[in-house]
Structure 1
Amino acid sequence: MRIVSLLPSTTEVLFALGAGTDVVGVTFECDHPPEARDRPIVSTSAMPPGLPPAEIDAYVARAVAAGEDLYHLDEGALAGLDADLVVTQDLCAVCAVDVSVVDDALAHLGCTADVLTVDPHTLEEVLDSFLRLGAATGRTAEAGALVAATRARLAAVAAHVAGRRRPRVAVLEWTDPPYAPGHWIPEMVELAGGTCVLGAAGKKSERVTWETVRAAEPEVYVVAPCGFDRAGAQAQADALLAAGLLPAGARVLAVDADASWARPGTRLVDGVEELAGFLHGWGATQGSPVHR
């Protein structure tokens, strides 16, 4: 089978299932596992690189309002890969190439590849997407084992935090302007033994004000800007503290959002474990707290 994955999350799941050798095309964001970088890139960003958070937000808002694509699909590269299966999404136009663009491209090219749309909104749906990818690639047993292992890790965290006081946690999915989290992130906070005071599980993330953030009275701030690694999140956390937008002495955890928060892949459980470590001493936390 020849697979083109247009989502970083599905790329990592496919490799985790043992289907990495079947992956023949990826996006410019597919960076896990490292060998995914060796595959031809068929999707790139239309956004200029290196923009600060406020300018990224403004660029995206203008593009969405104008109906412009935020990603470029290289039809020539796609045609040359002779794919049997293309994995994409219609969850968020900001996150990846939309399924309608893929369908149009395949029709234009006369390609008969199957298209699998993966759109999880909750943790349970993320796990279900593992099973769907397993079924589509003939790796049903591997997918079942991956789901079982993930559930076991989550259950271990749940046992550790059971009965403990749950700190009030605000996750910042973006920092300028601030965004409250949605989808699976509030569930991650609850599983880690916290109380998520912003956002709603299964819903879209939403723009909020700093007044709203302060009014929620968080005890812990998780800085998890979508599209940024830990170093980028740490830089934004430092800037927020310097600007007085986060209270002096606040407990702040800067995380690798791309690795284990924003992408609905195999490493979300790493994010749960990391936060549980920060809140309740589960395992060895890998976070970079600004202040404890």
Structure 2
Amino acid sequence: MRIASLLPAATEIVGALGLADDLVAVTFECDEPAGIRERRPVVVDTALPAGLTPGEIDAVVRERAAAGLPQYVLDREALRAAAPDLVLTQDLCRVCALPEATVSEALGELAIDARVLTVDPHTLDDVLHAVTQVAAAAGTPEAGQALVDDLRRRLATVQTALADRPRPRVLAVEWVDPPFLPGHWVPAMVRCAGGEPLAGIDGGRSVATTWEEIADDPPDLVLVAPCGFGLDDAVAQAEVVRERLPGVPLVAVDSASYVVRAGPRLVDGIEAIAHALNPDAVPAPPPGRVRIL
């Protein structure tokens, strides 16, 4: 089957199912399986300028949204040349990826007769269900169930290791300028990792707040997980948090790979955060995932 993945999380799922060779198109953000965007045509790129600060990114995204301008650019001719049988997309967040309506419109205009699977998880369980959805659409339901069973086993192992541990009040910050509180599956990730999420909406959207409101009820620990950024950028942006919440312990995480991307590596992220909260109870993750500051 020829699979076009217009969503980094879906690309990750396809790779984890052992179907990377079936991918015929990906996005500029697809980095798992490793090297995939160098081996496959990139049909989705960002419409945002490079090199912006978090505050500048927020401003540009808001301006483009208010003007009805897209955040992403679809290379329609490259998609036509890829000739996919299955297109994986989303409609959860117009800031995070190309919306499903744009994809369907383009497929119609290009006369591409492909099945479109929209993957829109809101919770951690939804993410695991998305794995089975992609596997079924790709014709490998058994591989999907085996992958989900393994992910649930790993989650159960973490839960058992932390069953009798104190649960610190953890504030996960998904953006620093302005600060955003997490939604969707992130509060559940904090719970699975042994913390008690101080704020955030299970299954809902991230919401903006102010540092003054956060300081009124300071957490025991802040998880710095800026959306779309890796570990080094999270460490750098943690300095903003340190200035605003002096004395509060900080943990930076590669959010782009292990927190905001709704793929199998969310479980890697939970394991990494669990180690940061309870290093004597959970094995250390590979380098590059999380850093205690």
TM above 0.5: yes
2:271 to 270, 273, 278: 273
TM superposition shift of 1:66:
1.3
TM superposition shift of 1:138:
0.9
- What does residue range 67-106 of structure 1 map to in structure 2 within 5 Å? 67-106=68-107
Counterpart CA distance in 2 for 1:42 and 1:147 is: 29
Residue-by-residue CA offset, 1:189-247 (whole Å, 9 max, x unaligned): 01111000011110100001112222232011110001100001011012432xx2121
Instruction: Give the letter for the 2:244 counterpart.
Output: L
- What does residue range 127-142 of structure 1 map to in structure 2 within 5 Å? 127-142=128-143
Counterpart CA distance in 2 for 1:78 and 1:200 is: 36
2:291 to 278, 288, 291: 288
> Is 1:245 equivalent to 2:244 in the alignment?
yes
1:258 to 234, 241, 256: 256
Q: What SS class does the counterpart of residue 172 from structure 2 fall into?
A: strand
Number of residue pairs the alignment of both structures matches: 287
2:193–2:271 CA contact under 8 A, matched in 1? yes
Instruction: Give the letter for the 2:22 counterpart.
Output: D
Residue-by-residue CA offset, 1:26-85 (whole Å, 9 max, x unaligned): 000001121312110000000001100000000111111111100000001011111101
Instruction: Give the letter for the 1:68 counterpart.
Output: L
1:198–1:216 CA contact under 8 A, matched in 2? no
Counterpart CA distance in 2 for 1:218 and 1:240 is: 12
- What does residue range 193-272 of structure 1 map to in structure 2 within 5 Å? 193-241=194-242, 244-248=243-247, 250-272=248-270
Q: What SS class does the counterpart of residue 35 from structure 2 fall into?
A: helix
1:9–1:263 CA contact under 8 A, matched in 2? yes
Counterpart CA distance in 2 for 1:153 and 1:34 is: 22
Give 2:17's aligned residue: 17
> Is 1:6 equivalent to 2:9 in the alignment?
no
Q: What SS class does the counterpart of residue 111 from structure 1 fall into?
A: coil
Instruction: Give the letter for the 2:58 counterpart.
Output: D
TM, length-normalised to structure 2: 0.96
Give 1:118's aligned residue: 119
Q: What SS class does the counterpart of residue 95 from structure 1 fall into?
A: coil
TM superposition shift of 1:288:
1.5
Give 1:147's aligned residue: 148
TM, length-normalised to structure 1: 0.96
1:198–1:213 CA contact under 8 A, matched in 2? no
Aligned-residue identity in percent: 47
Counterpart CA distance in 2 for 1:171 and 1:138 is: 37
Counterpart CA distance in 2 for 1:275 and 1:16 is: 21
Counterpart CA distance in 2 for 1:272 and 1:214 is: 26
Counterpart CA distance in 1 for 2:121 and 2:8 is: 14
Runs of 5+ unmatched residues, structure 2: none
Q: What SS class does the counterpart of residue 222 from structure 1 fall into?
A: strand
Q: What SS class does the counterpart of residue 253 from structure 1 fall into?
A: strand
Q: What SS class does the counterpart of residue 86 from structure 1 fall into?
A: strand
Runs of 5+ unmatched residues, structure 1: none
**RMSD across aligned positions (CA):** 1.0
Instruction: Give the letter for the 2:260 counterpart.
Output: A
Give 1:42's aligned residue: 43
